Amino acid sequence: MVVEVCPPEELPPGTMRLVPAGSLTLGVYNCAGAIHAIEDRCSHDDGPLCEGEWEPELCVVVCPRHGSRFDLETGIPLTLPAFESVPVFAVVERDGMLVVELPD
């Protein structure tokens, strides 16, 4: 499944977008020009992840419910209470759009 995000100019450094992707929602982030997509689901309690604050200079998202911090590039939790990774997805530019290719 290919999910269109937006044209690159609509996601400047330091910004993010929530993007519906079938049964998932993705958080798509621009960290100083590097674009990352992560599932909007905290591995600690399955609550929303990308509605929390994030640290663009570190490429880290912070769960709004219990404060776990996740690396946006790898999905690896950096702090407790989360200890399992969150799925991340590659973002590419295709025909003037940022897109995420999800596995079937």
| pTM recorded for the entire structure | 0.95
Beta bridge pairs of residue 18: 27
Task: Kindly report the backbone phi and psi dihedral angles of residue 11, in degrees, each rounded to the nearest multiple of 5, phi listed first.
Answer: -130, 70
CA dihedral of residues 9, 76, 62, 90 (deg, nearest 10): 20
Q: Are 98 and 35 in contact (CB under 8 A)?
A: yes
Residue-wise pLDDT for 31-63, tens only, equals 999 999 999 999 999 999 999 899 999 999 999
Residue-wise pLDDT for 7-25, tens only, equals 999 999 999 999 999 999 9
State the chain's maximal CA–CA distance in angstroms.
Answer: 40
Does domain 2-101 fall under CATH 2.102.10.10? My reply is: yes
Instruction: Return d(Cα 102, Cα 52) in angstroms, integer.
Output: 23
